[in-house]
Chain A
Amino acid sequence: MAEEILRIENLHVSVEGTAILKGVNLTIHRGEIHAIMGRNGAGKSTLANVVMGHPAYVITEGSIFYKGQPLEELAVFERARAGMFLSFQYPAVIPGVQVGTFLKKAVTSVRSEAPKGRAFRKELTAAMEQLSMDKSFLSRYVNDGFSGGEKKRLEILQMLLLKPNLALLDETDSGLDIDALRIVAKGINEVAVDSACMIITHYQRLLDLVKPHYVHAMINGAIVQTGGPELALELEDRGYDWLDVTA
Chain B
Amino acid sequence: MTDEAQDIIGDYRYGFHDPENSTIRFDQGLSEQVVRDISELKNEPQWMTDIRIKAYRHFVERVMPEWGNCDLLDQIDFESIIYFLRSSTKTEKSWDEVPDDIKNTFDRLGIPDAEQKWLGGVTAQYESEAVYHSIREDLEEQGVIFLDMDSGLKQYPELIKKYFGTVIPHSDNKFSALNTAVWSGGSFLYIPKGVSVEMPVQAYFRINAKNMGQFERTLIIADEGSSVHYVEGCTAPTYSTDSLHSAVVELIAMEGAKIRYSTVQNWSSNVYNLVTKRAIAYKNATIEWVDGNIGSKLTMKYPSVLLKGEGSHAEVISVAYAGEGQHQDTGAKVHHLAPNTTSNIISKSISKKGGRSSYRGLLQVTPKSTGCRSKIVCDALILDDDSRSDTYPTMEIGNSTADLEHEASVSKVSSDQLFYLMSRGFTEDAAMGLIVNGFFEPFTRELPMEYALELNKLLELEMEGSIG
Contact = CB atoms under 8 A, between A and B. Distances in A.
A232 B427 CA distance: 38
Interface stretch (B171-179, B351-359, B418-426): B418-426
A145 interface: no
Interface in B404-443: 414-417, 419-428, 430, 434-435, 437-442
Given A54-B419, A56-B415, A97 B441 contact: yes
B424 A97 contact: no
B417 to A, nearest CB: 5
B382 to A, nearest CB: 16
Given A106-B425, A109-B424, 17 more contacts: A55-B419, A75-B422, A76-B423, A77-B427, A80-B422, A80-B424, A80-B425, A93-B417, A94-B420, A94-B421, A94-B438, A95-B438, A96-B438, A102-B434, A105-B434, A142-B438, A158-B424
A223 B428 CA distance: 33
Interface in A124-154: 141-142
B425 A77 contact: yes
Contacts of B422: 53, 75-77, 80
21 contacts: A52-B419, A52-B423, A53-B422, A54-B419, A76-B422, A77-B422, A77-B423, A77-B425, A77-B428, A80-B424, A88-B423, A92-B414, A92-B416, A94-B417, A94-B435, A96-B441, A105-B434, A106-B424, A109-B430, A110-B424, A162-B424
A141 B426 contact: no
Contact of B420 (A53, A92, A109): A92
**Chain A: number of interface residues, binned into ranges:** 20 to 34
A77 B430 CA distance: 10
Contact of B423 (A56, A86, A93, A141): A86
B417 A55 contact: no
Interface string A64-104: 00000000000111011100011010111111110000100
Nearest to B438: A96
Interface centre among B423, B426, B427, B440 (most CB of A within 10 A): B423
Contacts of A92: 414, 416-417, 419-421
A88 B419 CA distance: 11
Contacts of A142: 438
Given A77-B425, A77-B426, A109-B430, A55 B420 contact: no
Interface of A: 52-56, 75-77, 79-81, 85-86, 88, 90-97, 102, 105-106, 109-110, 141-142, 158, 162
Contacts of B416: 90, 92
B419 A97 contact: no
Nearest to A143: B420
A30 B424 CA distance: 21
Interface in B440-454: 440-442
A85 B430 CA distance: 18
Identify which of B415, B424, B426, B439 gathers the most chain A CB atoms within 10 Å of its CB.
B424
B423 A80 contact: yes
Q: Please indicate which of the listed interface residues A76, A91, A94, A109 has the most CB atoms of chain B within 10 Å of its own CB.
A: A76
Contacts of A158: 424
A104 to B, nearest CB: 11
Contacts of A96: 437-442
Interface in B348-388: none
5 closest cross-chain pairs (CB), A and B: A96-B438, A109-B425, A96-B441, A92-B420, A97-B438
Interface centre among B415, B421, B425 (most CB of A within 10 A): B425
A75 B429 CA distance: 13
A109 B415 contact: no
A56 B422 CA distance: 14
A86 B422 CA distance: 11
Nearest to A76: B422
Nearest to A79: B423
A86 B420 CA distance: 9
Contacts of B427: 77, 109
Of the candidates B417, B426, B437, the one having the most CB atoms from chain A within 10 angstroms of its own CB is B426
B424 to A, nearest CB: 4
Contact of A141 (B421, B430, B438): B438
A79 B422 CA distance: 9
